[in-house]
Amino acid sequence: MKVTIDGIEIEVEPGTTVLQAARMIGGDVVPPAMCYYSKLKDTGGNCRACLVEVSKGSEADPRPMPKMMPSCKTGVMDGMEVKVKTSERALDARKAVTEFLLINHPLDCPVCDQAGECDLQNLSFKHGLEKTRFKEEKRTFEPENIGDKIQLHMNRCILCYRCVHTAEQVCGSRNHGVLNRGDHAQISTYVSAAIDHEMSGNMIDVCPVGALTDKTFRFKSRVWFNKPFDAHRNCDKCCGKTTLWMFGNEIQRVTARKDEFHEVEEFICNECRFDHKEVSDWVIEGPRKFEKWSVINQSNYTRKMDKVVIDTEKQILEGRDQDRKKISMKEVPYKTSEK
Amino acid sequence: MGQKILFEKIHIPGIKTYDVYRENGGYASVEKALKMNPDDITEEVKTSGLRGRGGAGFPVGLKWSFIDKKSGNPRHLVCNADESEPGTFKDRYLMEYIPHLLIEGMITSSFALGANLSYIYIRGEYMWVFKTLERAIKEAYAAGWLGKNIKGSGYDLDLHVHCGGGAYICGEETALIESLEGKRGNPRIKPPFPAVKGLWQNPTVVNNVESIATVPWIILNSGEDYSKIGLGRSTGTKLFSVSGHVKKPGVYEIEMGMTVDEFMNSDEYCGGMIDDRPLKGLIPGGSSVPILPKHLIFKTANGEDRLMTYESLSDGGFATGSSLGSGGFIVYNDTACIVRNTWNFSRFYHHESCGQCSPCREGTGWMEKILWRIENGQGTEEDIDLLWSIQAKIEGNTICPLGDAAAWPVAAAIRHFRDEFEYHVRFPEKIKNRDHFVNEPFEKVKHLLQNTTV
Ligand SMILES: Cc1cc2nc3c(=O)[nH]c(=O)nc-3n(C[C@H](O)[C@H](O)[C@H](O)COP(=O)(O)O)c2cc1C
Ligand code: SF4
Ligand code: SF4
Ligand code: FES
């Protein structure tokens, strides 16, 4: 089947969705997806961030579709023409969705562990308004433990349902779900101890925002101060292929490997994720690369770094020395050699 | 006196019971249908032009013909008795006073669709109606109209009533199916449509109570007879549940095509305005449809009589028209405050949004909060434009039509009654006692707006 996205033609199998076809093309025709997750069944359709304009239905029925369509749930038809970034209406809808997702979001990025690898930050950066039009109080919840290794900050949740599908499909049980309706809807487990499945940690990885976080990593580091390395170990519960987030020689966090769409390549078990924080537990393969624009490249070690030269360094140090002598601590030696 | 189809026998004493219902010709349509070819029944319903009475007005026969009979999977008919739209209470009336009519319709329709297991999904708040239906179903089983080999025809049908938990969203057909399956009532993303994959992934038809209760008459007479009643593509009779400032609120069955003027002002129906106060607005089809201001109620924008038909009520699109919706006819006189009324509707949609998709989940709550502010005199001029912008961003971007239904009333209120919003914003001291417009109708204070500049 032939489908044209923003003027780029591509041949795809029947049954492909518009979003998948766009991802095959790649680049900036890929609509943002906050809820769809290709590794899980039945996801998508909730966030509406991926809305696109279908300007021609198909060869057989060329009428345009009147509404914006969720690309993750819209199957391609032969001859379909789709507009992603060339459609004013689709961009407007995306802006609207971004605004809606943010009105009840606490915007506590400075203290959120997800900051730096958060899909909502990326979406807001691209499509968000710089000012809020929402004056009211935001809805709030108390943080909650989901099992002993995961913490839920419901305030940050965008109700994408990914973790619900993970619990159902990867952990094989329906003990994690949504309570209540509307903007007071809440991800919960009823009994927080109920989640003790050995794959439960994957909920952290699928969560596009900082609503589900790793308690063994909480407040340890900003993600961009960590250096990610691919590593593996022999594991009888999962593939054992992970990314280690290092600070010096310390493994601060272990996650599954995420691809360019921030989806995990393969799910990993809780033992790999939480219980192996020694370098000797792992065979390290090498640094993991991220998109060019990702903030994680702040700690760029793949390229040789120049030495930083500060021209005024000498004066600064001199001044500091004078100040020290002038102001206080005359008696305290600046360097041991000064004595 | 117009023709009655649904209410023909409703006033017979004891019609609630099987014996009286049967003596008065009840279940005759089943007898007739069982001798017919199921596809011919569907054809009859198609010819009748009967349109779905649940709100969308989709032709019933056409919907039936979409049901996937080839897959060989079991098929189901589900009756949507969730009736939770503010202003709509016609289905309750039917089920409460003549429950066997619905059951008869369910049997005939299930036979046409080849369904052997059918359901009536009723809202939780109608507990006593639920019991009435259960009793009626028991009677029908006892008389051999339900169960195995109905009246020796070889056709089996089991019918159950299921009681919902009290969510408006479970009236949306796919959410209803989810709820019936025992899950959280979140609407499904279409396609696939229920006619292909519905209840337990089997082909399913969901129809409103009133739609199904009309089928017996069509089978007993003919599709053509039915299509002669009414006007144009709005065939047959329709129930309207009237509430608000009229002398005689209640449920009325009318032949479609009557003028709105006659319906509202004749003594046979609504009987005119209560206390003869002036009319301010009309919502013709339940809280989800746009409100009409006074000058667009009896006449359309191009000066024709406004009629009680699908076409005429929606004449002019949303700019100057509304929609027949589910027949919840709400009348407002000059003491009503449109801002408060809109806030009240928004509060409802905020409370009832399932929260599955972002625009509706966040937008309904946001609109409710802004409307609350305006209604309480804390709003600003920009809030009115903000509301407009929010509703426009919800509409069309959601999974199910609840998002649209939340947006339309707000849009229409601002479109036609913007000055009332401005009044709230500019004269907070006038509205602070919450009795504005009761003592001081808006018409009398409207001039104040002209003296203010923003
Ligand atoms: C939010 C929402 C609520 C609805 N509630 C009802 C309802 O209470 N009763 C009803 O019959 N249809 C309701 N509908 C319409 C149904 O989805 C469906 O169109 C209808 O049951 C089909 O029956 P009909 O073709 O006989 O009208 C609702 C739709 C939406 C979007
Ligand atoms: S907790 Fe995270 S993954 Fe789960 S619904 Fe909320 S945002 Fe999605
Ligand atoms: S539009 Fe509202 S009610 Fe409908 S699926 Fe979305 S959130 Fe739920
Ligand atoms: S990714 Fe398509 S709606 Fe969320």
Give me the pLDDT at residue A192, please. 56
- Answer whether residue A118 is part of any domain: no
Render the burial of B414-447: b for 16+ CB within 10 Å, e for the rest.
bebbeebbbbbbbbeeebeeeebbeeebbeeeee
| Domain assignments of chain B as residue spans, ordered by start | 18-228, 231-333, 338-451
**CB contact B183 to A (< 8 Å):** no
CB contact under 8 A, B397 and A48: yes
Q: Which ipTM value was assigned to this complex? A: 0.89
Instruction: Search chain B and give the residue with CA nearest A100.
Output: B362
- Tell me, yes or no, if the pTM score tops 0.80: yes
The alpha carbon of A318 is separated from its chain's Cα centroid by a whole number of angstroms, namely 46
Give me the pLDDT at residue B158, please. 95
Q: Is the Cβ atom of A157 under 6 angstroms away from ligand 2?
A: yes
Interface of B with A in 333-392 (CB under 8 A): 350-359, 361-366, 369-370, 386
CA–centroid distance, B160 to ligand 3, in Å, is 27
Give me the pLDDT at residue A331, please. 66
Q: Is the Cβ atom of B78 under 6 angstroms away from ligand 1?
A: no
Query: Distance (Å, rounded) from C-alpha B237 to C-alpha B4?
Result: 7
Chain B closest CA to A167's CA: distance in Å? 16
Q: Looking at ligand 2, which residue's alpha carbon is closest to its atom 4? A: A163
* A41, burial (CB in 10 Å: exposed 0-12, middle 13-18, buried 19+): exposed
Coil, strand, or helix at residue A185? coil
Tell me which residues have their CB closer than 6 angstroms to ligand 3: B 169, 187, 353-357, 360-361, 398-400, 402-403
Query: Distance (Å, rounded) from C-alpha A37 to C-alpha B8?
Result: 55
Give me the pLDDT at residue A196, please. 74
Position in ligand 4 atom list of the atom nearest CA A72: 2
Phi, psi of B154 (to 5 degrees): 85, 0
Beta bridge partners of A146: A150
Tell me which residues have their CB closer than 6 angstroms to ligand 4: A 33-36, 44-50, 70, 72
- A91, A184: one domain: no
- B345 near B287, Cβ under 8 Å? yes
Number of the ligand closest to the Cα of B398: 3
Tell me the per-residue pLDDT of B229-283, one tens digit each, with 9 for 90 and over.
999 899 999 999 999 999 999 999 999 999 999 999 999 999 999 998 999 999 9
Q: Are strands B279-283 and B328-333 parallel, antiparallel or unpaired?
A: antiparallel
Beta bridge partners of B293: B281
Domain B338-451 in CATH 3.40.50.300? The answer is: no
Q: Which CATH architecture has domain B231-333?
A: Roll (3.10)
Q: Is the Cβ atom of B174 under 6 angstroms away from ligand 1?
A: no
Q: Is the Cβ atom of B56 under 6 angstroms away from ligand 1?
A: yes
Set of chain A residues whose Cβ sits within 8 Å of the Cβ of B363? 100
- A90, A14: one domain: yes
Q: Which residue has the tokens 């009626």?
A: B136
- Diameter of chain B measured on Cα atoms: 79
Tell me the per-residue pLDDT of B187-206, one tens digit each, with 9 for 90 and over.
999 888 999 899 999 999 99
- B125 near B98, Cβ under 8 Å? no
Give me the pLDDT at residue A169, please. 87
The last residue of a domain, from among A219, A247, A264: A219
Please report the DSSP string for B52-119 in residue order. -SSSS--BHHHHHHTS--SS---EEEEEEE---STT--HHHHHHHH-HHHHHHHHHHHHHHHTEEEEE
CA–centroid distance, B356 to ligand 3, in Å, is 5
- B199 near B180, Cβ under 8 Å? yes
Q: What is the pLDDT along chain A (339 residues), one digit of tens a residue?
A: 899 999 999 999 998 999 999 999 988 899 999 999 999 988 999 999 999 999 998 888 899 999 999 999 999 999 999 999 899 999 999 999 999 999 999 999 999 999 888 999 999 999 988 888 998 899 888 888 888 888 889 999 999 999 888 888 888 766 678 888 888 888 877 555 556 788 888 999 999 999 999 999 988 888 888 888 999 999 988 999 999 998 888 899 999 999 888 999 999 999 999 999 998 999 999 888 877 677 777 665 555 667 778 788 888 877 777 776 666 556 666 666 654
Query: Distance (Å, rounded) from C-alpha B52 to C-alpha A319?
Result: 85
| Nearest CB neighbour to B167, from listed A100, A104, A181 | A181
The last residue of a domain, from among A79, A101, A123: A101
Give me the pLDDT at residue A190, please. 59
Say which CATH number the domain at A185 has.
Answer: 3.30.70.20
pLDDT beneath 50: ranges in chain B = none
The boundaries of the domain holding residue A293 are 220-325
Closest to B279 measured CA to CA, from B295, B301, B256, B262: B295
| Nearest CB neighbour to B353, from listed A48, A134, A182 | A182
Give me the pLDDT at residue A324, please. 64
Q: Are strands A250-256 and A241-247 parallel, antiparallel or unpaired?
A: antiparallel
Set of chain A residues whose Cβ sits within 8 Å of the Cβ of B356? 46, 159, 161
- A196, A155: one domain: yes
Give me the pLDDT at residue B166, please. 85
Coil, strand, or helix at residue A205? helix
Query: Distance (Å, rounded) from C-alpha A28 to C-alpha A19?
Result: 12
Say which CATH number the domain at A21 has.
Answer: 3.10.20.740
- Answer whether residue A332 is part of any domain: no
Neighbouring CB atoms inside 10 A of A304's CB total: 6
Q: Which residue has the tokens 């359309």?
A: B300
The last residue of a domain, from among A171, A197, A219: A219
- Answer whether residue A234 is part of any domain: yes
Instruction: Search chain A and give the residue with CA nearest B372.
Output: A136
Q: Which CATH architecture has domain B18-228?
A: 3-Layer(aba) Sandwich (3.40)
- A48 near B397, Cβ under 8 Å? yes
**CB contact A174 to B (< 8 Å):** no
